[in-house]
Amino acid sequence: MSSLNMLALDLGASGGRAMLGAFDGSRLTMNEVYRFSNEPVSLGNCFLWDFLRLFHEVKQSIGKAGLYSGPEISSLAIDTWGVDVGFIDWGGRLLGNPHHYRDPRTENIPEEVYQFLPKDELYRMTGNYPWQYNTIFQLYATKSQEAALFKQASGMLFMPDLINYFLTGEKATEYTVASTSGMLDATTGDWSREVLDRLAFPESLFAEIRQPGTVLAPLQDKVSAEINVRPVSVVLTASHDSASAVAAIPVSFSRYAYISCGTWSIVGIENGKQINSPLSQRLSFTNEGSLDNKTRVLKNIMGLWLLQECRKQWANEGEPLSYQSMQNLARTISNSNCYIDPDDNLFLLPSHMPDAIRLFCQRTNQPIPQSKAEIIRCVVESMALKYRKTIEELELLLPNKIEIIHMLGGGVNNHLLCQLTANAVGKPVVAGPVEATVMGNLLVQAMAHGEILNLNELRQVVKNSFSPLTYEPQSKEEWGSKYERYKKLAER
């Protein structure tokens, strides 16, 4: 076959990038053509995404890709984070900027929802663990706090679907991102009529759910003319970035778990069906959609956010550090003498992350880290130990032990974190690809073109296209002792 040229737009909580991919039938090569920041805006009591800026940057990305790429681009696709939505009115106009999942407006909303839909019943019906940032709670907050906007809305679209709508004029909801909502039926994978009815959500708000790997529509003529590209096809990839990343796992063993490490760390497995038992609920596991009718059984835990916020604070104080410099500092200390629970509420939206870490250690009667090196080492070891705790909880839901860990995403660049994760979990860690999300995005586009037939073929292309690094566990006894200390801290 001749080379298939595709554009992936990968939008994350702190930035986005556009990457061109060329697929020759066996291997995928990628080149970055544009990168931009994604900064939420605090406005009054609201915490919002700047959607107008994001859409402008998406158009810039497509235009630059058109200039960069010699051969014509065959398609483009967008992936983003989950749960957050925007609204359009009956004239197809945007109704305000979408709320950020960290917006405090949902703080007491779950308890209100449980009056109509008890927590246990909601979990059984949808398979989604009821985190307060889930779309179901955001939508209820909009209904109760922004009644005028809610009445004007003709449609609700997740972030990738909202961008796709303004690019193409077509309304559709991609399955993997919809599966983060807390409103899909666990059996059918479609909108749960019972959930919508009990909360008085009008069905007209909800677009048809479409599967990943399908063509949505071409760019609208006015968009193509504005950015001077032909009306290229927009494909529905696995639009939830985590689903795209998991699609690109270079699997060789059946008994594996994955850690997708970005701003959030997502620890999970792929399974043939949902696990929504009382035990999985007690352990806070959620079920989200994947390719080939698979389910990702997972837990969201805090990831590189902790290091990102420390780095941001130190830069504000006039001491900027690269991530490599932070890793080097952590290596100057052989062991941390304090640990944190990365999921503690102290770390959700702190004004000063290093001080929040110190405060946690003070409150838990541990030595208080003072230097940057001590803080970074504390964070990295704590992340590794949290991974072990989550993997052990996951194994309680499975008939067999997990044998190997696949680590994906930006955290793979932190070689210290990869090695400490292998040490803490006591299992080999296969690291990479770093660009798993983009690879998944592009190769699902290739599925839409009929060049890849299924998930197994997709993963073979991933194996052909990059070389992973494997980290073997070390210092088993030492890390066993560390974990016992950590468990007491986490169970306090």
Residues designated as active site:
241
Measured distance CA(385)–CA(382) in Å, rounded? 5
Compute the residue count for the chain: 492
Task: Yes or no: say if 312 and 263 are a contact pair by the CB < 8 Å rule.
Answer: no
Q: What is the DSSP letter of 273?
A: S
Measured distance CA(93)–CA(371) in Å, rounded? 50
Task: Yes or no: say if 84 and 158 are a contact pair by the CB < 8 Å rule.
Answer: yes
Task: Yes or no: say if 191 and 279 are a contact pair by the CB < 8 Å rule.
Answer: no
Is 354 strand, coil or helix?
A: helix
Measured distance CA(290)–CA(490) in Å, rounded? 30
Measured distance CA(172)–CA(157) in Å, rounded? 8
Which stretches of 161-263 are assigned E, i.e. beta strand? 173-174, 209-210, 214-218, 233-236, 256-261
Is 13 strand, coil or helix?
A: coil
Measured distance CA(472)–CA(469) in Å, rounded? 10
Q: What is the DSSP letter of 379?
A: H
Measured distance CA(86)–CA(93) in Å, rounded? 11
Measured distance CA(474)–CA(389) in Å, rounded? 18
Please enumerate in sequence order all residues whose Cβ is within 8 A of that of 220, keeping only pairs 6 or more positions apart, or say none: 167, 168, 169, 231
Q: Give the burial string for 126-135 (b: 16+ CB within 10 Å, else e).
A: bbbbbbbbbb
Residue type at 163 in one-letter notation: I
Q: Which residues is 79 bridged to in the sheet? A: 10
Tokens 């950020």, residue?
Answer: 100
